């Protein structure tokens, strides 16, 4: 395995069904790869399998499970990856194929797990500035952290305008959990105004309705589904996709609304991407009362199957068995005595004397070839 250090492999995510190049680091000892007492959590797996990792991402060592970079870990513990090239089968519970795929198209990924002065973009480097005092590190989906925007429109994140935030096609969204039935809770907005003539946005309109919009060449595509569960206190996954001719909105992996009335590329706003807050372009603001987690932005429209896989999250970690040295046992019981029976005596008849001649004792008889010859 050490010969692989510094080489690049390609892995296939079983969650997003996409392919990532990763630089190899030193593997851990075999006994570490077999253990599960400090293995990755389900949320760590989600991050690993949903993020477009690159060889330059500083992940050397992560394949062994000994090193974590930005909350992303690879290695033992049931990571649902499939090795495509460069790595022997079984290095971290994978199967081998020889087929290469295309890039995932993930250009922005904000795990919202850590704490600090910025919310890290683990893929594109477009970190979000933190405004106000949202609570960091609160319980999120899949056993990890999230941000709580309990302060209303005073607490939010702002990602400066960048090329990665302006794709002609898009998939954008993440996990949300409202803490009340308040109306107009903006999840994210990168637009001149909420539902304006440029950009895109996602909003929890009421406790039973959602809104989303994308401004494109021909006009504005909008959806406003009613009678959908936005249930306060419950985590939901929401994702908007635009493929050039259709706006689709998904909730918990299922399409709930679609607008096919427009076409063309997205007409973008040069304003920041706001997370947890929207506005009307002037002085009215719409905050988030609840939690957000694991926000993603792709430069393509994910397929329904891909959306469902992302919303489903990772499979439960496989329980691996720790190999331990057997504990020696000492036998203290006295062995059960065994009785050896005396053999029944047999009577051996006296042999007929053999003449001491060349065909007798000194000849064939002595060497088992014959006996007496009359």
Would you say residue 368 lies in a domain? no
Across the strands, what pairs with 221? 214
Q: Is residue 209 part of a domain?
A: yes
Lowest-pLDDT choice from 130-134, 198-202, 236-240, 330-334: 330-334
Whether pLDDT at 180 is above 60: yes
pTM: 0.63
Q: What is the spatial distance between Cα 205 and Cα 222, in angstroms, rounded to a whole number?
A: 13
Contact 110, 140 (CB under 8 A): no
In three-state form (DSSP H/G/I as H, E/B as E, the rest C), the secondary structure along 231-283 is: CCCCCEEEEEEECCCCEEEEECCEEEEEECCCCCCECCCCCCEEECEEECCCC
Q: Which residue has the higher pLDDT, 334 or 106?
A: 106
Structural domain range at position 61:
2-85
**238 with 307: CB under 8 angstroms?**
no
Residues 159 and 300 in one domain: yes
Higher per-residue confidence, 354 vs 234: 234
Within-domain flag for 173: yes
Q: Is residue 56 part of a domain?
A: yes
- pLDDT of res. 152: 80
Residues 287 and 241 both lie in one domain? yes
C-alpha to C-alpha distance for 250 and 138, rounded to whole angstroms: 25
Distance CA 178, CA 233 (A): 6
Strand partners, 189: 201, 274
For CA atoms 78, 140, 116, 128, the dihedral sign is: positive
| Cβ(188)–Cβ(295) below 8 Å | yes
CB of 203 closer than 8 Å to CB of 289: no
Q: How confident is the model at residue 337 (pLDDT cuts 50, 70, 90)?
A: low
Q: What is the distance between the alpha carbons of residues 259 and 220, in angstroms, rounded to a whole number?
A: 10
Residues 292, 216: one domain? yes
Neighbours of 1 (CB within 10 A): 15
Residues 174 and 214 in one domain: yes
Tell me, yes or no, whether 12 and 126 share the same domain.
Answer: no
> Domain count of the chain?
2
Do 164 and 299 reside in the same domain of the chain?
yes
70 and 126 share a domain?
no
pLDDT of residue 188: 98
CA-nearest of 245, 256, 251, 254 to 231 is: 251
Last residue of a domain, one of 285, 312, 339: 312
Secondary structure letter of residue 23 according to DSSP: E
Q: What number of other Cβ atoms are within 10 A of residue 268's Cβ?
A: 20
Percent share of the chain, pLDDT over 90: 50
Band (373; pLDDT cuts 50, 70, 90): very low
Asked, for residue 92, whether it belongs to a domain, the answer is: no
| Residue 330 C-beta-side C-alpha neighbours within 13 Å | 1
User: 117-141 pLDDT, tens per residue?
Assistant: 999 999 999 999 999 999 999 999 9
158 domain-assigned: yes
Q: Tell me, yes or no, whether 261 and 181 share the same domain.
A: yes
Q: Are residues 24 and 161 in the same domain?
A: no
Checking if the pLDDT of 56 tops 50, the result is no
Decide which of 85, 115, 134 is a domain's last residue.
Answer: 85
In a domain, 74, yes or no: yes
Which DSSP letter does residue 194 get? Answer: T
Domain boundary among 85, 115, 146: 85
The CATH code of the domain that includes 175 is 2.60.120.200
d(CA 59, CA 61): 6
Task: Answer yes or no: do 26 and 111 share one domain.
Answer: no
pLDDT of the residue at 117: 94
Angstrom distance (rounded) from CA 220 to CA 254: 23
Over residues 181-195, the pLDDT tens digits come to: 899 999 999 999 988
Q: Is residue 354 part of a domain?
A: no
124 and 176 within one domain: yes
Q: Which two tokens stand for residue 233?
A: 């206190």
Question: What 8-state DSSP symbol labels residue 58?
Answer: S
Q: 145 and 231, same structural domain?
A: yes
């Amino acid at each position: 395995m050490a010969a692989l250090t510094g080489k690049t492999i390609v892995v296939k995510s079983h969650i997003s069904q996409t392919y990532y190049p990763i630089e190899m680091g030193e593997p851990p000892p075999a006994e570490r790869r077999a253990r599960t007492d400090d293995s990755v959590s389900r949320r760590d797996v989600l991050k690993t399998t949903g993020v477009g990792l690159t060889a330059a991402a500083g992940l050397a060592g992560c394949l062994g499970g000994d090193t974590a970079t930005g909350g992303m870990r690879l290695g033992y513990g049931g990571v649902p990856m499939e090795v495509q090239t460069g790595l022997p089968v079984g290095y971290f519970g994978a199967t081998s194929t020889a087929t290469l795929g295309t890039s995932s198209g993930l250009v922005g990924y904000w795990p919202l797990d850590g704490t600090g002065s910025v919310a890290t973009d683990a893929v594109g480097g477009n970190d979000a500035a933190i405004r106000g005092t949202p609570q960091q590190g609160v319980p999120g989906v899949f056993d990890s952290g999230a941000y709580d925007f309990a302060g209303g429109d005073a607490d939010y994140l702002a990602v400066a305008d960048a090329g990665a935030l302006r794709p002609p096609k898009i998939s954008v969204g993440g996990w949300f959990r409202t803490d009340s039935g308040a109306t107009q809770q903006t999840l994210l907005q990168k637009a001149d105004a909420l539902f304006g003539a440029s950009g895109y946005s996602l909003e929890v309109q009421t406790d039973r309705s959602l809104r989303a919009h994308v401004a494109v060449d021909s006009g504005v595509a909008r959806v406003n589904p009613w009678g959908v569960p936005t249930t306060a206190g419950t985590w939901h996954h929401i994702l908007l996709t635009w493929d050039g001719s259709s706006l689709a909105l998904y909730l918990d992996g299922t399409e709930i609304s679609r607008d096919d009335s427009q076409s063309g590329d997205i007409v973008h706003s040069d304003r920041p991407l706001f997370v947890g807050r929207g506005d009307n372009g002037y002085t009215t603001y719409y905050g988030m009362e609840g939690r957000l987690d694991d926000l993603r932005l792709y430069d393509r429209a994910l397929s329904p199957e891909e959306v469902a896989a992302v919303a489903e999250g990772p499979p439960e970690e496989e329980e691996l068995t720790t190999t331990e040295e057997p504990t020696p046992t000492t036998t203290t019981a006295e062995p059960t005595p065994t009785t050896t029976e005396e053999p029944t005596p047999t009577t051996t008849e006296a042999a007929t004397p053999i003449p001491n001649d060349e065909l007798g004792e000194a000849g064939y008889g002595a060497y088992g070839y014959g006996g007496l010859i009359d």
